Amino acid sequence: MDGGVQSNVSYRIEEDYLGSKAIPSDAYYGISTARALELFPSTGEHFDDHFLWAYFMIKKACALLNAELGMLDESISQAIQKACDEWEILKTHVVVDPLCGGAGTSVNLNINEVIANRATEILGGKKGEYIVDPYNHVNLHQSTNDTFVTAGKMAVIVTLRALVGNVIILQNTIQDKEKEFYTIRTVGRTQLMDAVPIMMGQQFAAWADALTRDRWRLNKVEERIRNVNIGGTAIGTGIGAPKEYILKIVEVLRSVSNVKIAKAENLIDATQNLDTFAEVHGLLKSLAVNLYKIANDIRLLGSGPNTAIGELKLPAVQVGSSIMPGKVNPIVPEYVMQLALTVFGHDEIISHACAQGNLQLNQFAPIIVHYTLKSMKSLQNSCKALKEYVAKIDLQKGRCEEHLQSSASNLTPLINYFGYEKVSQAIKDANWDIQKAITVLAQSEGISVQELLNKLDINKMTGLGFV
């Protein structure tokens, strides 16, 4: 017997072809999991609940179909199905680290053992007796290579729908602010320098439209991620599984989970090529890009507020400094920006991992699935936090008007009358004082200041076309 034994803990002994090991008596996992715990020290990472739910539903569907085909005893099938329905309790016994080696084999074995031991209890046995066997019963006609990837895709589909819902709520909140601020004009900025006027509502509308594209992209990508390789077993050839099972398992799993999955046309392709995850995560990165930009823009427009732009009145949601009194910081935009940066990093990891699969299997499925789902969680949190924050934003209307009236870019329409060079020279001669520039230009052209002002109408500068 290998492995240390603590005197204050009760153990049972389990054996495999590598030897024997002491397992805590109350543990639903078994010897394969125990070996994995020794091999893969914890990173502190945890599996996403949607992934675990999907994996248990796969095991339930397989048990159901195998019984229907007469290949699994009905009592054993029922016990497995009941155990799978207890996944929210049993998930705490899935203790293998998400970033484990072996293409996810340790995860599959961990889940098999947990289900087998719980199903054994349901049939009146004790943990470790394995009336229900983790290999011959729970894993019947399956491989890690088709179950892990399928569970990952199912989890992504479910999470995608929730994420799109969060994007919609954030978009609606931004559009509410678009309507609220639509009549308020301020100075646009290019390269952080004064530019031509813009209505603040137009800026909010631009942010909302960016999120519209994200919604569309994320909705469409579900069409590619829903093609799963369950039934393909080890490498997509279906070895070890009867043809009837291979043809029916997706339909049964779809019924059990209510997730709209479809059997991949080429199971070999779907087993070894995980580019759909790279595609999905690329679109997650696009959303992260837009959230980063929106959050940073809010941060800039609220900066100061007395010595910088200060046009947005950012909500005071937390004391801003441990030493500077009265300080309010843009903590929520910065939170969103940090989460976006993690998504950028995950995208790099996933791109490399998807490309590094060798021949008939991508051995890096665990990190691909795990970080895809982790990015989705980060983006959900970002949308939720930013929605609450945006709803509380107000305008410093006086500050907007002050900036608007002092911007030399307001003279841009005059180039249609006097040419670019003359207007630029007048601005320079007036040392970028807009009122002086108007006077200088009027004098140079031999017209009154009022005549010149009649050619300028700030209210018309935020529409399409020239004035």
Per-residue buried b or exposed e for 101-136, using 16+ beta carbons within 10 Å of the residue's own CB: ebbbbbbbbbbbbbbbbbbbbbeeeebbebbbbbee
Beta-strand pair 394-395/312-313: antiparallel
CA 48 from chain centre, in angstroms, equals 12
Going by C-beta distance under 8 Å and a sequence separation of 6 or more, which residues neighbour residue 435? none
User: How many CB atoms are closer than 10 A to CB 74?
Assistant: 11
Q: Are 410 and 461 in contact (CB under 8 A)?
A: yes
Active site residue 322: no
Q: How far is 461 from 412, CA to CA, in rounded Å?
A: 9
User: How many CB atoms are closer than 10 A to CB 457?
Assistant: 11
- Catalytic choice (25, 321, 444, 448): 321
Q: Are 338 and 246 in contact (CB under 8 A)?
A: no
Q: Which amino acid is at 415?
A: I
Tokens 């155990």, residue located: 83
User: How many CB atoms are closer than 10 A to CB 397?
Assistant: 15
The residues assigned a catalytic role are: 321
